[in-house]
């Protein structure tokens, strides 16, 4: 059970060259008059500055803050962060100070992602917050959003990401009467919050955020289902936007003027269906279609004319939780619906004290190999070490089925988990396919195989021919326990969701491969809920490159940590 932390585990070669940094610092010296010949470097960025050296620091910091730029040694990066932060402090307040703070924050965040020193994350958070002090300034919302994500990642806790993003959304929406609201940023945060719905903290936590903001005097809107607002005159419904999901959804009703609104619900007898109405007094429905058929928790959304104005109707599958509030400029009413009230104790915590993490393959069994030679067994071990370190720190008992590069038979892995009396078993792998284009995250649960893709993946992980693997799947019927299978499926969905959410927030999109069922030998006979996590396709060049990076492995490890936490909370 010895668990060395991830620093010793295999990691990819990174920033092999500091040459570009030397060129730029040399030119900084040149600009101060020590030599000549860097004009092209300078004229490419002709922004007004009283200090060319400072300007070059800023440009260099911005370049190094971008993903993929090779970084010089940490000490040089930290010195540059400090220089740009000092320049920001010298500017005092205003747009330029905010910009300098944001540049230095991004660079500090990047060196944290690569080298993992917590003090760099703390520094980045401080700098982002300095960049976001004045909500009226361009980029302030983006800096606050970056700080929120970073705070959650630093704590390996998606609930913290949620709470911090929520705080940013409320703060910037509330500041809107005085500042033009950063629409794209707020929409992005809205989408993030929807993705993170499974990790939403208790309502009391969010209430305390609202209260703290009100205490600061920044909230200009009522944060609860308040109903009436002062009407600003005849108003028209501009459009209705819908972000549907299985467990939660958001409907945004945009009006061209503020209007008063009232919320009401109706639940069918027996509770098999429900409707939430938002009545908009004096609001003209306008032209166009207002019938929106949706999926998941939203069975339908439509807008209709009423005697007093307009009404937006949400059709829901029985009892649901809803939260309706307004945001100004442009005035819009936001209707959040979810299957469960946030933080409600409808889900009993599950006892999870011992977790087995199974890094796939090892020793002579390399697993799949990517186009540039990255090997599955190395990636899985590193992710397992990263996840185990965080889980240990959270007080869980962790067993790794292997702690180094050695061969462990598939049947031995479940046997060890049983001997350890584990409450949960997670097997970590990289997917592979003959077609290089195939990509995405998939999670598997042990079952008689139900689809062909799942059967193929199972055959590869089982090191069997597809025929033999299919036979194994057929034999599994008698081995499964209904309750265990249900818990495995719940955990698999949490794992799938936490991984795709994290990837989508970091990379803008994620290929959602879904939860599948197949006969995985490694899971056979495990007496606890179990899932096999196919993190990404190592056969896909883009995903292979990601799997080779420290930050992507940490992201996947955090996805495992967040899924285990959500599972323990009974979600």
Q: Given the rule CB under 5 A, which residues bind Zn ion?
A: 360, 367, 429, 461
- Output 500 or 535, the one with its CB closest to Zn ion: 535
In angstroms, give the least distance from the CB of 371 to Zn ion.
Answer: 17
Full 3-state SS string of 191-208: HHHHHHHHHCCCHHHHHH
Helix axes 482-507, 158-174, angle to 10 degrees: 50
In the block, residue with structure tokens 């949620």: 162
The residue among 245, 222, 229 whose CA lies nearest residue 320 is 245
Q: Nearer to Zn ion by C-beta: 410 or 476?
A: 410
All residues at 6 or more sequence positions from 208 whose CB lies less than 8 Å from its CB, including other chains: none
SS3 (DSSP) at 302: strand
Which one, 62 or 386, has the nearer CB to Zn ion? 386
DSSP labels, 79-99: HHHHHHHHHHHHH-SSHHHHH
Rounded distance, CA 441 to CA 455, Å? 16
CA dihedral 29, 34, 37, 42 (to 10 degrees): 40
- Locate 191 and state its tokens: 């989408």
Pick 317 or 466: Cβ nearer Zn ion: 466
Distance of closest approach, residue 456 Cβ to Zn ion, in angstroms: 13
What minimum distance in Å lies between the beta carbon of 468 and Zn ion?
17
**Strands 354-359 vs 397-400: parallel, antiparallel or unpaired:** parallel
User: Between residues 185 and 518, which has the closer beta carbon with respect to Zn ion?
Assistant: 518
CB of residue 443 to Zn ion, shortest distance in Å: 13
Contact 180, 329 (CB under 8 A): yes
- Closer CB to Zn ion, residue 120 or residue 403? 403
Least CB distance from residue 376 to Zn ion, whole Å? 5
Q: Which is nearer to Zn ion, 198 or 536 (CB)?
A: 536
CB of 510 to Zn ion, least distance (A): 20
Sign of CA dihedral 532, 352, 557, 418: negative
Paired tokens of 258: 């503020």
Pick between residue 447 and residue 461 the one whose CB is nearest to Zn ion.
461
For Zn ion, the closer CB: 101 or 444: 444
Q: Which residue is nearest to Zn ion (CB)?
A: 429
To Zn ion, the closest distance from the beta carbon of 360 in angstroms equals 4
Q: Least distance in Å: CB of 461 to Zn ion? A: 5
Could you tell me which residues are beta bridge partners of residue 517?
445
Give the closest residue to 329 by CA, choosing from 207, 206, 232.
Answer: 232
The token pair that represents 352 in the structure block: 């999870």
Mention every residue, 6+ apart, whose C-beta is less than 8 A from residue 40: none
Shortest CB 414 distance to Zn ion, Å? 15
State whether the Cα torsion 172-175-176-182 is positive or negative.
negative
Q: How far is the CB of 361 from Zn ion (least distance, A)?
A: 6
Residues pairing with 252 in the sheet: 241, 334
Would you say 99 or 462 has its CB closer to Zn ion?
462
481-497 in b/e form (b: 16+ CB < 10 A) is eeebbebbbbbbbbbbb
């Amino acid at each position: 059970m010895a668990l060395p932390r991830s620093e010793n585990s295999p990691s990819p070669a990174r920033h092999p060259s500091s040459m570009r940094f030397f060129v730029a610092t040399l030119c900084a010296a040149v600009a101060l008059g020590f030599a000549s010949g860097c004009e092209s470097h300078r004229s490419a960025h002709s922004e007004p500055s009283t200090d060319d050296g400072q300007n070059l620091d800023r440009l260099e910091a911005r370049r190094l803050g971008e993903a993929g730029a090779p970084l010089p040694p940490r000490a040089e990066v930290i010195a540059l962060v400090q220089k740009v932060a000092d320049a920001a402090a010298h500017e005092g307040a205003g747009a330029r100070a905010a910009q300098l703070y944001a540049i230095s924050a991004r660079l500090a965040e990047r060196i944290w992602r690569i080298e993992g020193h917590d003090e760099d994350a703390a520094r980045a958070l401080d700098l982002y917050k300095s960049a976001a002090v004045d909500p009226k300034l361009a980029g302030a919302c983006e800096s606050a959003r970056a700080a929120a994500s970073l705070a959650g990642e630093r704590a390996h806790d998606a609930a913290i990401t949620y709470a911090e993003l929520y705080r940013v959304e409320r703060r910037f929406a509330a500041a809107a009467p005085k500042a033009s609201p950063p629409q794209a940023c707020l929409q992005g945060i809205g989408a993030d919050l929807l993705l993170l719905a499974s990790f939403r903290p208790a309502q009391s936590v969010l209430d305390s955020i609202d209260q703290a903001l009100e205490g600061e005097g920044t909230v200009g809107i009522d944060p609860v289902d308040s109903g009436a607002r002062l009407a600003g005159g005849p108003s028209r419904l501009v459009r209705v936007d819908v972000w549907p999901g299985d467990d939660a959804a958001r409907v945004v009703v945009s009006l061209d003027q503020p209007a008063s609104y009232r919320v009401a619900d109706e639940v069918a007898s027996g509770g098999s269906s429900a409707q939430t109405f938002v009545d908009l007094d004096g609001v003209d429905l306008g032209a166009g279609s207002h019938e929106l058929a949706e999926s998941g928790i939203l069975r339908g959304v439509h807008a209709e004319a009423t005697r007093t104005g307009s009404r937006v109707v949400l059709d829901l599958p029985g009892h649901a939780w809803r939260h309706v509030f307004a945001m100004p400029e442009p005035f819009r009413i936001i209707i959040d619906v979810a299957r469960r009230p946030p933080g409600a104790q409808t889900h009993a915590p599950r006892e999870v004290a011992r977790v087995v993490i199974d890094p796939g393959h090892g020793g002579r069994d390399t697993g799949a190999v990517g186009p540039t030679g990255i090997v599955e067994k190395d990636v899985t071990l590193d992710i397992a070490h990263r996840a185990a370190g965080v889980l240990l720190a959270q007080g869980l008992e962790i067993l790794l089925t292997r702690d180094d590069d050695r061969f462990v038979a598939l049947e031995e892995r479940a046997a060890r988990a049983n001997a350890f009396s584990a409450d949960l078993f997670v097997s970590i792998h990289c997917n592979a396919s003959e077609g290089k284009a195939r990509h995405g995250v998939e999670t598997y649960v042990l079952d008689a195989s139900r689809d062909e893709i799942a059967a193929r993946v199972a055959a590869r992980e089982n090191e069997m021919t597809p025929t033999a693997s299919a036979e194994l799947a057929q034999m599994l019927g008698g081995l499964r326990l209904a309750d265990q299978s249900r818990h495995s499926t719940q955990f698999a969905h949490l794992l799938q969701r936490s991984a795709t959410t994290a990837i989508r927030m970091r990379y803008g999109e994620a290929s959602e491969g879904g939860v599948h069922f197949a006969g995985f030998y490694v899971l056979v006979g495990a007496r606890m809920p179990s899932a096999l996590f196919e993190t990404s396709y190592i056969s896909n060049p883009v995903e292979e490159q990601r799997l080779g990076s420290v930050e992507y492995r940490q992201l996947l490890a955090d996805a495992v940590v967040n899924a285990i936490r959500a599972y323990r909370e009974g979600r």
